[in-house]
Amino acid sequence: MKSPHPFTRKKGAKDITESGLKLILAGCAYLIVICAALIFFDIARKGLPTFVKAEAPYINTEFFTENPQTLVSFHDTEGKDYAMSSNNFEIWHKENPSIEVLGEHRLNYSAGGILNPLAGTALLVIFSMLIALFIGVAAAVYLSEYCGQGRVMSMIRLAILNLAGVPSIVFALFGWGVFCYMAPILVTEVSDRTLWAFKINSDTYLSFQGWGTSLIAGAFTLAIMVLPVIITACEESLRAVPGGFREASLALGSSKWQTIRKSVLPYALPGIMTATILGITRVAGETAPIMLTAVATDKNNLPWEGLEDTWSFFGQSVQALPFHIYTLAKLPDDPLSKPMQNGATLAFLLLVMGFAALSIILRNRVRKKLKW
């Protein structure tokens, strides 16, 4: 019989406890992964039938190229059931005037496609992130590079962290009150609801009467909502850059801003891209802020169609996928509305994943170029 190695460590109670804790932690981690996978699988299983069709080209292009329409369901005297969009119903009715329509039932936004909500969501995400990144990175640079560690700065950082936990409905009410009813705008005629107005020339006033329910109001509201997350993540990324980079740059005669621009910000870009990912995932999924500040329930034209000037683009209300899904969820429980609900949910999930994937790809490319 072979004797055990004299230096072999025997397993005791601590090793058993350690193994048990490892199994528990691994179980929690895999449980989260399994739950997420089941959610994604369920959404894909229910939504994919809306994306495809039985005949060529097998892709339901109308779902992505048409605006939401009313679904009309009915039957004829022979008991044959029909279900079609309102536009197709008008064409069918003209082509078949002899068929009597019985039991007509209409479901709003349950036919057509999601082109307008898809475009509105993309515009809201892009503009809100541009605003949030500009302000957030500037604030993070100031907090990290210029200000000290005094009591006032600690209170400011604590306030930023607290803002990250404020419910989105609070930001929605803030944006609704400030941007929709108080923000300054150049007008030729002052509204009755204006707080005050300043005359600039003979026919132009700077009036604090708000932007109304508009794309720009929704973008600023979403930007303010996501600012705490971006500021915190960017500041941590800037602080992670070694101090030797700053000292070497200053020793070579560079100014403070030149040091930040050339020796700090480039190496903090991966962290800034991470903040962008966090911001996109939150901005794209919010419903309350856009519901009060930006959204239109029904809109025929795309955001860039039929515009008179630049303000017409930013001053218009838009449709958005989160609110579109919310509207569909409020409809009566009807099997005919389920395809649109499931398809819109899957499209929304893919849109968010696409924005996040693009940010991750850009971050990884930047990270490969920057090594120290």
The yes-or-no verdict on residue 195 having pLDDT over 90 is: no
Burial class (CB in 10 A: 0-12, 13-18, 19+), 115: middle
pLDDT value of residue 233: 87
DSSP, res 1:
-
**Any long-range contacts for 28-33 (C-beta under 8 Å, 24+ apart)?**
none
pLDDT value of residue 186: 84
* SS3 readout for 48-59: HHHHECCCCCCE
What average pLDDT does the structure give for the chain?
85
Task: Tell which wins on pLDDT, 191 or 220.
Answer: 220
Mean pLDDT of 65-92: 84
Model-wide pTM > 0.85: no
- Report the relative pairing of strands 205-208 and 197-199 from DSSP bridges: antiparallel
Q: Give the strands of the sheet with 81-85, arranged side by side.
A: 81-85, 68-75, 102-112
Confidence grade of residue 241 (pLDDT, cut at 50, 70, 90) = confident
pLDDT value of residue 371: 63
DSSP string, 191-222: -TT-S-EEE-SSS-EEEES---S-HHHHHHHH
The closest of 298, 318, 296 to 307, measured between CA atoms, is: 318
- The span from the CA of 368 to the CA of 372, in Å, is 11
Secondary structure tally for the chain: helices H, strands E? 14, 6
pLDDT value of residue 8: 63
Q: What is the pLDDT of residues 314-363, one digit of tens each?
A: 888 888 888 888 888 887 777 888 888 888 899 888 888 887 788 788 77
- The span from the CA of 144 to the CA of 317, in Å, is 37
The closest of 269, 286, 260 to 366, measured between CA atoms, is: 269
- Asked if residue 345 lies in contact with residue 326, where contact means CB atoms within 8 angstroms, the answer is no
Q: In this predicted structure, which of 10-14, 40-44, 57-61, 123-127 has the lowest mean pLDDT?
A: 10-14
Comma-separated ranges of CATH 1.10.3720.10 domains in the chain: 115-179+214-369
CATH fit for domain 115-179+214-369, picks 1.10.760.10, 1.10.3720.10, 1.10.730.10, 1.10.533.10: 1.10.3720.10
Q: In this predicted structure, which of 4-8, 146-150, 241-245 has the lowest mean pLDDT?
A: 4-8
Question: CA-based diameter of the chain, in Å?
Answer: 107
Mean pLDDT of 121-133: 91
Confidence grade of residue 127 (pLDDT, cut at 50, 70, 90) = very high
pLDDT value of residue 90: 86
- The span from the CA of 246 to the CA of 248, in Å, is 6
pLDDT value of residue 311: 79
The yes-or-no verdict on residue 55 having pLDDT over 60 is: yes
Helix (H) or strand (E) holding 159: helix 151-163
Confidence grade of residue 9 (pLDDT, cut at 50, 70, 90) = low
- Asked if residue 134 lies in contact with residue 227, where contact means CB atoms within 8 angstroms, the answer is no
Instruction: Give Cα 18 distance to the centre of its chain.
Output: 41
pLDDT value of residue 3: 62
Instruction: Give Cα 306 distance to the centre of its chain.
Output: 26
pLDDT value of residue 6: 62
